[in-house]
Structures are given as C-alpha cells and as structure tokens.
Copies of this chain bind each other. A is one copy, B any other.
C-alpha cells in the first residue's frame, strides 16, 4: 500500500528489544537465482497498449547483444522475460580507438513498457520522484563489470549511452540479475485448476507474492519496500495457501509488536533498514489487523508460544479501538486515526469501519478463548452490541443495504465488510450481496486490488461463487490481458490509464495486496 502523508514525528514509541530480537531471529536468508534476458526489444508507442506503450521484439537474438556497439544517444532494451527482483550487472567494453573519455550511461528499470516509454523528467506527481528507477553512471575505465548496488524490480532494462566520444563505442555482454526472495517458487504445492484463466491468475498471484517476500512482506519491491499491516494480512493468507513460510509472518508480527507507541498503538507500517523503526502513520483498521494477522497465524500454525506472547499487544489494539466507539455503539470517525478501507476518499467509511471492528473483535474473542478465557464474555458482549447497533442503525431494511455516514450513503465497502464480519446470518448475507450486485455492480471508482479482494471474498463468503469467479476474471484477468507479469498496485478496469500519482512511471506493478487470487482460488474453488 501507499498513502497520503501523515506527519506525527512528535509521537513517542516503545522499542521492546526482547520482541525485536525475536523478529531478528526470524529474519530469512534470501534465496538467489541468476536470470539472463531472453530478448532484445523496442519500446513502441501504441495507444491500444497498457499505458500507451508496448514491447516489441527487435528480431535480434539476445545472443547477438555483444555485437551491438552504441555511440552517443544509442539505446537498447533488455527483456528478462518475466518480472524480476534483484541486483543487475552487465559487462561493458569499448570498441574502436582507446577510450579517451568516460562512458556516461543512463539505465532505466521498468516493470512495464510505459516506464521506459514515458520520459521520466515529465513526472510531477505528489509521490517522491526518487522512486523512479533510473540511474546515471560514469565509467572511467573499460572493460568493466557494472554491478549496480541497489535492488530493482523490473522486467525491462533500457541502457542508453549518454556519451562516449567520437573515437569509440560501447558494447555490452553478459547482463544478468541475481534475484532475491525469502522463498523459492518450487515450494508451492501444485493444485488442479481446470479453468486456464484462473490457472494463469493463480500463477501470477504466486509470482507477485514471491517477489514481495523479502526480509519482510514488502508492499511492493519497486516502490515502498515496506511492511504495511493491512497488506501483511492479505500476504500472510496467500502465503499460507502457497509458500507457507510461517517464520516470515512471525517476524513481521514481532516487528509490529516490538514498536508500539507509548500508549500501545501499532503503526500502519514499519521500516526495517538500517534498524527497525515504526512509521508515524496510523490507521484504525490497520491497527486492528494486528489481531487478524495474529489470529490467522495461530489458526495456521497452532503456535501457542507466539499467541501467548503477543496476545497482550492484540488486546491493547482492541481496547484502543473500542475507545473510539460512541455511546450508540457506533464507531466515531477520527481524523487523527482514519479508517483506510480503500484509497478512495469519495466513499464514506464509517460503516465499513464498524464492520472491520466487529470482524477483528470476533477474531480477538477466538484468541481470548485460548489465552484468557475470563476476558471472553466482555468482548463477546461487545460483538453483540456493535452488531446490533450496525443492524439497527446502519441497515436500511427497505433497500436491503447498509448505509454509511450522516448522508446515509450506500457504497460497496460497507456491504462487503458487513458480509465479511458476518454481522447478518448466512441467508441475509447472501441476500445482502445479491442486492449489492444488483445495485452496485459493475463496481466503479475503486482502484485498489485490496478492495477488490474484499469484494470477491464477500461474494464467496455469501455463497455467490459464480459472481466471485467472474469478478476475479474480469479484474485480475484483465491485468493479464494487458500483459501483467505480476499484479498491480492500482487498477481501475473502467479507466485503464488510471494512476494514483498522475503518471504510470511511479506506479508499482508488482504489489502484494493484489496477490490474493491464489488464496481465494485455493480456499474457495479448489479444495
């Protein structure tokens, strides 16, 4: 995920060294593979292509790369055949007279063709331009191996010779990427998926998750490189269904648990380099999802040690969340601790927030039954009263849909989260989603796979299997049709050129919160 900026750098944080030591003890050893490019391509403007550009093979075998000599202004684009996360290197030599000036190169790493096609200097969005993955490099002496120190996420690498001299040209050989991930692709159990599109979606989901699993569950390996709690929840679920690396989930739980505010509140995300550090950004639903991630982890691993150790942190989250509820048993909106739900600021999020509170509260009660049975009754009562308040005050019986906010707005997020929280019984849930399909489909104005995940999950949870499959195919399948090697951070099917940042070059095209179809397929459709 990525989000608008909160600046709260006066907030004081705890650093529980004991918990952080456990996070460190579960730091994965990254696995590496060496990948070579498969083709030389040209990036060509095409209004019909995704973001206006496509990659076209230049019909020269990649084996001919060393025969190319590039002078000032010369360019070539390597195609690595699939999305890669890792370190790039290439051998460079001079051809002609002796090298009488430095070689000046510009390299652009691109997950999609448009990131090369669109001129980087035109970017003027609100997110830092420092995320644009381009480098300028001077080499004083050739031959040399250029081994760039940074990790990149890319399929395509454009190499542009900014200058040589009239006396010699540059030549290139042996390009490669040494990939990095906490997990290996070959550890995923294969399952039988008959539908070829769903099978492909499952594969791309797994590749997306794989490339985001680094020393933490990153949101995106191109951009933010960061552990967000809401994203972690979905990544962990997809991980259980595929790589099943429970240590990495454990590490992330300890990272969040070890760095709460002095009041005990968990940040929306944490940084880990050069040392663990919490962000000063807080979101109501993300804090609650600590409970959800811990609960899911326990369900998956039956690891009572971790559950017992982190239960107090989870309890603190639920108690802080409850304090935001009014005497009418409804969540009050608080600008300083906003409910995220989705990037869209057009939708009212009060009812979705109420549902997420109930959703997390139910998972908390399950954990309390294991760890602190005496507490169960108190929280069970809250589940009941908050659910009752939701039904009494937020459910519009006439329309058969939940409303949200002072204007009694009807939006998809409210329905979806109420379904996922199972505030209604199964039959009413089914009717609710039928109504939602009738009134609110096709979904518009939603750009995040994160929200689309919850819509599909709600369809499956409410026994709308066919609609769930249809939405997976129309949303994630559409990305594949557009050439996705991994699933995107942001995607609006009704506006293919949508970017939350005003330019395709800053978008992340391998973003963890879009990896969930493998979880949905394997949970609801395969077993």
Closest CB-CB distance, A161 to chain B, in whole Å?
Answer: 9
Residue interface bits A127-168, CB-to-B below 8 A is 1, else 0: 111110001101011110000001000000000001111110
| Contact yes or no, A100 B224, CB < 8 A | yes
Tell me whether A441 is interfacial, beta carbon within 8 Å: no
| Contact yes or no, B98 A280, CB < 8 A | yes
- Given A130-B163, A163-B128, A273-B140; A9-B103 close (CB under 8 Å): no
Closest CB-CB distance, A167 to chain B, in whole Å?
Answer: 6
| Contact yes or no, A150 B141, CB < 8 A | no
- In the complex, A278 Cα to B101 Cα: how many Å? 15
- In the complex, A285 Cα to B273 Cα: how many Å? 60
Closest CB-CB distance, A153 to chain B, in whole Å?
Answer: 13
| Contact yes or no, A130 B102, CB < 8 A | yes
| Contact yes or no, A9 B130, CB < 8 A | no
| Contact yes or no, A166 B101, CB < 8 A | no
Q: For A102, list chain B residues within 8 Å (CB).
A: 128, 130-131
Closest CB-CB distance, A89 to chain B, in whole Å?
Answer: 15
A131 touches which of B97, B101, B126, B224 (Cβ 8 Å): B101
Interface of A: prevailing SS: loop
| Contact yes or no, A97 B226, CB < 8 A | no
| Contact yes or no, B100 A279, CB < 8 A | yes
- In the complex, A103 Cα to B128 Cα: how many Å? 9
| Contact yes or no, A164 B100, CB < 8 A | no
Chain B residue nearest to A267 (CB atoms) is: B98
| Contact yes or no, A130 B150, CB < 8 A | no
| Contact yes or no, B143 A130, CB < 8 A | no
Chain B residue nearest to A143 (CB atoms) is: B274
| Contact yes or no, A141 B273, CB < 8 A | yes
A167 touches which of B5, B96, B143, B224 (Cβ 8 Å): B5
Within 8 A of B (CB), among A323-354: none
- In the complex, A289 Cα to B104 Cα: how many Å? 34
Chain B residue nearest to A104 (CB atoms) is: B130
Tell me whether A7 is interfacial, beta carbon within 8 Å: yes
Smallest CB-CB A-B distances: 6 pairs: A101-B128, A104-B130, A130-B163, A136-B136, A102-B130, A128-B165
